[in-house]
Amino acid sequence: MSVVTKYVLFGIDDNTLQAGARRVEEEFKRELKNAGLDDEIKVVETGSMGIIQKGVVILVEPDDIYYTEVTIDDVKEIVNEHLLKGRPVQRLKFDGKVDKSVVSFRESAQEIKKQNRVVLSNSGVIDPENIEEYIAVNGYEALAKAVTEKKPEDIVEEIKESGLRGRGGAGFPTGLKWSFTAPLDKKPKYLVCNADEGEPGTFKDRLIMEGDPHKLIEGMAIAAYAIGAEKGYIYIRGEYKLSIERTEKAIEDARKYGILGENIFGSGFDFDIEIKIGAGAYVCGEETALLNSLEGGRGNPRVKPPFPGQVGLWDQPTVVNNVETLANVPSIILNGHDWYREMGTEDSKGTKVYTILGHVNNPGLIEVEMGTTLRDIIYKYAGGVKGNFKCALVGGAAGAFIGKEMLDVKMDYDHLGKYKAVLGSGAILVMNQTACIVDMLKNTLAFFKHESCGKCTPCRIGNVHLYNMLDDITKAKGKEEYINNMLTLAESMQQSSLCALGQSAYLVIESATRYFEDEILEHIERKVCPQNVCEMK
Amino acid sequence: MKKEEILYKYEKRKDNVLYILHEFQDLNPYNYVTDDDMQLIADYIGIPYSKVYGTASFYSMISEKPRGKHIIRLCDSPPCHLMGSIDILDVIKEELKIEVGETTPDMIFTLEKTACLGVCGVAPVMMIDDEVYGNLTPKKVRKILTEYKEGTK
């Protein structure tokens, strides 16, 4: 029997697949065989390594060397030089190839290791398609502990104590949500995982499902045990092919191992999961719209109350949680709420996964403690801004602009709330001096206008009017009263819309006008777009 | 009788409507569901036609109008917009001589805008059928479209 001395990990996600990761991997296996190394060096597919826009990414362990933008032609060199002779290929190393920001990249490589990973602890480390690898890193231990040693009410209490809050955007305390449903006698109850990730710039849930689907399944099983549900659904958007594939396989494997199904771990607890696939509607990320869609109808939101916790899927008590929220659960049960509470700020515990995009040197995915400042996220983890920082759109389209003045605000639910901003889904879109705020605002409103489901009037008509005013401004037909009109209209939409979609326009418009009123006025009064982006005719 | 075979795979439950619609659409060479399809589903499940139509017309991935052989979905949500998706849109319009929502007369391409595809790491992005193309530049888009036109893709 041979001993494995090295692992070559391939970060597989949509980005690297597109760069040809699978072809490179095949070539790698071939070359290893040619070199007679295939017994002692193992090629492993894993989830995203958090390095994005850098082509095919591989990691050689235990040497701890990342290679980026690897092509088929490079494979022979890596095998011969690094794996055979022990001399890493300098030109492909993660910290060696970047033209002008070598320093920031080297820091970034170290920062990746410094990240305090809870949700993404296995992503990029284990093979997501192999349940045994998940079990080897204490996988399903939390579930076993929960169902054999603890009562459902203990689990609810533990999650309450941990301070975990919903990661889908609204930040509602998870334990509290469960506590509304757990004591109800009405059966059956359902657990629904919201994986309809549609917020522009957000793909954290996709990478969790691609990188560590078993963690989500374990989190769901624990949640179901806590609330007394025997059936779970994962609602995944139709565009996420790889997520669907990997989660499907993980569910099948879990069934084979007796982790899903009847009498889990001999405890008498039954639970199974079914995947449902969406068909392209942003509003279905709203929990009641999602339930309507699960039932096979139009994805219109419902009037609340009653809340899904009491009257949900097919009018039965239903808890709807986001992917990231559920992926936090196993670690909390395993390590206890005290461990979890050590991370984060007073009101926001634990870590948060961010996707950071736009004009930064190193766009990608990071998981850091709650309360990390925007400055640290941009400059420490994302390699700094290309050009000069102008602002960031935080929380996706349903978020708010954050200006220079707020770079040092702690990023968590309450601190951002004080400044009329939101954490939302955790998307951070960084803009430099070339971005025009009116253009970005118009683009955001075009999105809302298109995605409004049309059920309630403020959202359906309000977004059209907001868009039209912005369109006028970009065509040099803007009027001075528009700024005030937009604010008044958006505020009344915030107060009267049925769901978060219609309520969201206010934050983005309010923040844009607060930081960049002058720039908008340039468009209106002088009929000039300072960034030369808008048509102005 | 392929359509019946699809129907019989599913239980007669309303929550299967969307799945059957997806399968019927994939079966159609013009990538859409017909009135007859929707009536068939309604009769099978035992719900009114209007309910099926309501579901079909709500979701952007289901079309009630004939579409081209290849469906181009260009993302123009904020991250892609910031990275220049409008320039890419202009190139596609110019190359195919159609507007958003239209199909080329030879029924090869339909151009649609899509909500965020979640591959913003490589913005700007478009999807042709099931294939994602990122880091788009006008030159790259022209090359991709040519490959589809010549049938090499």
How does the average pLDDT of chain A come out, rounded?
A: 90
Looking at residues B50-63, what average pLDDT do you find?
95
Q: Where are the domain boundaries for CATH 3.40.50.11540 in chain A?
A: 131-341
Q: How confident is the model at residue A109 (pLDDT cuts 50, 70, 90)?
A: very low
Helices marked H in A5-151 — which ranges?
Answer: 14-18, 21-34, 72-77, 102-114, 131-136, 141-149
Residue B41 has pLDDT above 50, yes or no: yes
The rounded distance, in Å, linking the Cα atoms of A43 and A363 is 26
Q: Which of A216-230, A380-394, B123-137 has the highest mean pLDDT?
A: A216-230
Q: Which of B78, B133, B134 minimises the CB distance to A397?
A: B78
State how far residue B12 is from chain A, nearest Cα, in angstroms. 12
CATH classification number, A351-430, choose in 3.40.190.10, 3.50.50.60, 1.10.10.10, 3.10.20.600 = 3.10.20.600
| Residue bearing the bigger pLDDT, B130 or A161 | A161
Residue A100 has pLDDT above 50, yes or no: no
Each residue of A220-272: pLDDT tens digit? 999 999 999 999 999 999 888 889 999 999 999 999 999 999 999 999 999 99
Each residue of A348-367: pLDDT tens digit? 999 999 999 999 988 888 89
Q: Where are the domain boundaries for CATH 3.10.20.600 in chain A?
A: 351-430
Q: Is the dihedral of CA A69, A74, A77, A79 positive or negative?
A: positive
The rounded distance, in Å, linking the Cα atoms of A75 and A22 is 12
pTM for the model: 0.85
Residue A62 has pLDDT above 80, yes or no: no
Residue A88 has pLDDT above 90, yes or no: no
Name the class of domain A6-94. Answer: alpha beta
Q: How many CB pairs under 8 A join A and B?
A: 130
| Amino acid A104: pLDDT | 31
Each residue of A191-227: pLDDT tens digit? 999 999 989 999 999 989 999 999 999 999 999 999 9
Residue A112 has pLDDT above 60, yes or no: no
- Asked if the ipTM is above 0.90, the reply is yes
| Amino acid A3: pLDDT | 62
Determine the number of helices (DSSP H) and then strands (DSSP E) in chain A. Answer: 21, 14
Residue B115 has pLDDT above 90, yes or no: no
Residue A95 has pLDDT above 80, yes or no: no
| Amino acid A280: pLDDT | 85
Q: How confident is the model at residue A110 (pLDDT cuts 50, 70, 90)?
A: very low
What the block records as the tokens of A506 is: 């206010």
Looking at residues A278-300, what average pLDDT do you find?
94
Residue numbers in the known binding site of B for [2Fe-2S] cluster are 75, 80, 116, 120
Domain B70-150 listed as CATH 3.40.50.10860: no
Residue A106 has pLDDT above 70, yes or no: no
| Amino acid A177: pLDDT | 97
Q: How confident is the model at residue A96 (pLDDT cuts 50, 70, 90)?
A: very low
The rounded distance, in Å, linking the Cα atoms of A501 and A340 is 32
In this structure, CATH architecture of domain A131-341: 3-Layer(aba) Sandwich (3.40)
Q: Where are the domains of chain B?
A: 3-58, 70-150
State how far residue B29 is from chain A, nearest Cα, in angstroms. 19
- In terms of phi and psi (left: phi > 0; alpha: psi -120 to 50; beta: otherwise), the region of A201 is left
Residues of A in contact with B76 (CB under 8 A): 443, 446
Q: Where are the domain boundaries for CATH 3.40.30.10 in chain A?
A: 6-94
| Amino acid A468: pLDDT | 98
Domain A437-526 listed as CATH 1.20.59.10: no
Smallest CA–CA distance from B131 into chain A, residue? A18
Each residue of A27-57: pLDDT tens digit? 998 888 888 888 778 887 777 777 777 889 8
Half-sphere CA count of A118, side-chain side, radius 13 A = 28
Residue-wise over A223-249: b if at least 16 C-beta within 10 A, else e? bbbbbbbbbbbbbbbbbbebbbebbbe
State how far residue A396 is from chain B, nearest Cα, in angstroms. 8
Least reliable range by pLDDT among A325-329, A394-398, A462-466? A394-398
The SS3 call for residue A119 is coil
Residues of A in contact with B135 (CB under 8 A): 53
Mutate to test the interface with B, among A443, A474, A504, A535 (most CBs of B within 10 A): A443
Q: Which of A189, A205, A101, A118 is nearest to A426 (CA)?
A: A205
Q: Give the rounded distance of the alpha carbon of A374 from its chain centre.
A: 17
